[in-house]
Structure 1
Amino acid sequence: MLEISISSSLKDAVNDFKIGVIHYQNIVVDTLPPLIGDRLPLYYETIQLSLQEHPVSEVPGVAEWRSIFKKVGTDPSRYRPSQEALLRKIKKDGVPHFVHSAVDLINFFSVQHGIPMGIYDLDHLSEPIQITIGSDQDSYPGLNGRVMHLSGKIVSVDRTGAFGSPIVDSKRTCVTEQTTNALQIVYIRPSMELEEAKQLIQKMAEMFTQVHGGNHEWKLMN
C-alpha cells in the first residue's frame, strides 16, 4: 500500500479527522458507460430541485466540512469545500462540468455523499505522501486556473510539494485519459462511524473499478 500519513498538527486540530485512501492500478480512463452517464443528468436535475428548498450550506456534509475548515484556519465562505462548490454549480446550472469517466464518477460520489474527495495520477506523485495543514510555502497552480495558496488549509503533499486539497486540486497531478494508476483521497465526515466509513470506501472502490477496469486496494486512516 502507498506510504501515506496524517500529520499530528491536523489530528490535533480535528481530533476525529479520517480519510479513505484508494489505490487504483491498470485502469482505463475514457467516458462513462451509458448505464451511468445517461442517468447522471436526471440525477443532477433531482439534486437541483431539492436545493431550491434547502440552502447548500445546510446540506449535512457541507455544514460539517465548513466547521472542519474553521478548525484548521480556513474561512469556508471564501474557500469552499469542493463538494459545496459542486452543489452550488448544480443549483445554478443543473449539472457539474463533465470531464472524463474518472472525474465525472468522483464528482458523482462527492455529491451523493456530501463530502470532498480528489483523484490524482500516481505516476506524477512521489512518496511519501502526507495530509497536513499547509504553510506559507505551500501553493500550486489549481485546476480552476488560479494559484492556490494553502497556508491554513488542509493539503496533501508529496516529495515535490503540495498537490491536492479538499478545495481544489493541482494541475500537476490531475488525472487524464492517459492515466493508468491513480490515488483517490476521500475526506470522510468525522462524525461517520468507522464501520460505515469502511463500507463507503469499499463501495466506491468497487464501483470505480467496475467502470475503469484494473484493480484496487484501500484503507481507512484516522
Structure 2
Amino acid sequence: MKISLSNDLITAIPQFQLGVIYYHNITIDESPQMVKGRMLFFQETLYTDIVDLDISSIKEVQGWRAMFKQVGTNPSHYRPSSESLLKRIKKRQFLEPVHSAVDINNLFSLEYKIPLGLYDLDRLKGDLTIGIGSSTEQYEAINGREISLENKLISSDEQGPFGSPYVDSKRSIVTKKTKNALQLVYFLPQTTMEDAHRMILSIEKLFSQINGGESKK
C-alpha cells in the first residue's frame, strides 16, 4: 500500500509531516488494567496542568489551528481531534475506555497533543492519498453525523475519503474484530526528525505490547 501527499496539500503545507505504522495479526480486546490506570492517571495529571489555561494558548493547539487554516478549515468551527480531547479533559469529562487499540491511540494523542488516526486496514482498498477535501466529498463520521469534507485535511483510498484529523469515518473504524490496522500520526511541521522517530517508537512499542502481532513503520 503506497501513501502519497496530494499536490494541493504540499502547496498549502510544504513541510507537512506524517508518521505511518502498520499492524498485522493483532488481537484487540478490553484494555488491561495497566492501560486503564495509565490513562486515568495521565488525564488527572493533564487536567491539573490545563485547568487554568486557555486551550488555544497551548503551542501544539496553536500549531494545528494554523494548519487547519492553511488548508481552508475554520478551526473555531471544526477543531482538530486533539484539541477536542483536551477540551474534554479541561471540563473533567474524562475519556471512558473503549478497547485496547482506541485507548492507546487516545493516550498518545493526549500526551503529544496531536491528532492520531487509527483505521481497520482490511476496510481500505488500494493506495492512499493525504490531501484536501473537495465540495463533493463527505462521509458518515464515527459520531454518526454526515460531514462535509470541503477544505479539510483528509485521507482517502480508492473508495474515497476515510479519515481526517478533524473526525474519522465510520467505514474505517477499528473494532475488536480488527486484525490489521493502520495508524497515522499527524506531526506538526516543526517537529524534528529525532522527536518524530522517538514518538513513533513509543506508540509502536506500547500498541504492540498490548495488542500483539507484528508492526512495521
Partner of 2:99: 100
Q: Does the residue aligned with 1:93 lie in a helix, a strand or coil?
A: coil
Task: Say whether 1:184 aligns with 2:183.
Answer: yes
Decide whether the 8 Å contact of 1:48 with 1:94 is kept in 2.
no
Q: Does the residue aligned with 2:91 lie in a helix, a strand or coil?
A: helix
My pick for the range that moved more, 10-19 or 202-211, is 202-211
Q: Deviations over 1:4-27 (max 9, x none)?
A: 111111011001101001100001
Task: Please list every run of 5 or more consecutive structure 1 residues that lacks an aligned counterpart in the other structure.
Answer: none
Partner of 1:166: 165
Shift of 1:199: 2.0
Task: Say whether 1:119 aligns with 2:118.
Answer: yes
Q: Distance in 1 between matches of 2:121 and 2:200?
A: 19
Q: Pairwise CA RMSD of aligned residues?
A: 1.1
Q: Distance in 2 between matches of 1:33 and 1:55?
A: 33
Q: Distance in 2 between matches of 1:146 and 1:97?
A: 21
Decide whether the 8 Å contact of 2:31 with 2:97 is kept in 1.
no
Shift of 1:41: 1.4
Shift of 1:59: 1.6
Shift of 1:140: 0.4
Give the TM-score of the pair, scaled to structure 1. 0.95
Q: Distance in 1 between matches of 2:190 and 2:38?
A: 30
Partner of 1:153: 152
Percent sequence identity over aligned pairs? 43
Shift of 1:149: 0.6
Q: Does the residue aligned with 1:12 lie in a helix, a strand or coil?
A: helix
Decide whether the 8 Å contact of 1:25 with 1:180 is kept in 2.
yes
Shift of 1:202: 2.0
Decide whether the 8 Å contact of 1:140 with 1:147 is kept in 2.
yes
Shift of 1:93: 3.0
Shift of 1:49: 1.9
Shift of 1:47: 1.1
Q: Distance in 2 between matches of 1:167 and 1:125?
A: 19
Q: Does the residue aligned with 1:39 lie in a helix, a strand or coil?
A: helix
Q: Does the residue aligned with 1:166 lie in a helix, a strand or coil?
A: coil
Q: Deviations over 1:109-150 (max 9, x none)?
A: 000001001100011000211000000121100011211110
Give the TM-score of the pair, scaled to structure 2. 0.97
Decide whether the 8 Å contact of 2:128 with 2:157 is kept in 1.
yes
Amino acid at match of 2:12: A
**Alignment size in residue pairs:** 217
Task: Please list every run of 5 or more consecutive structure 2 residues that lacks an aligned counterpart in the other structure.
Answer: none
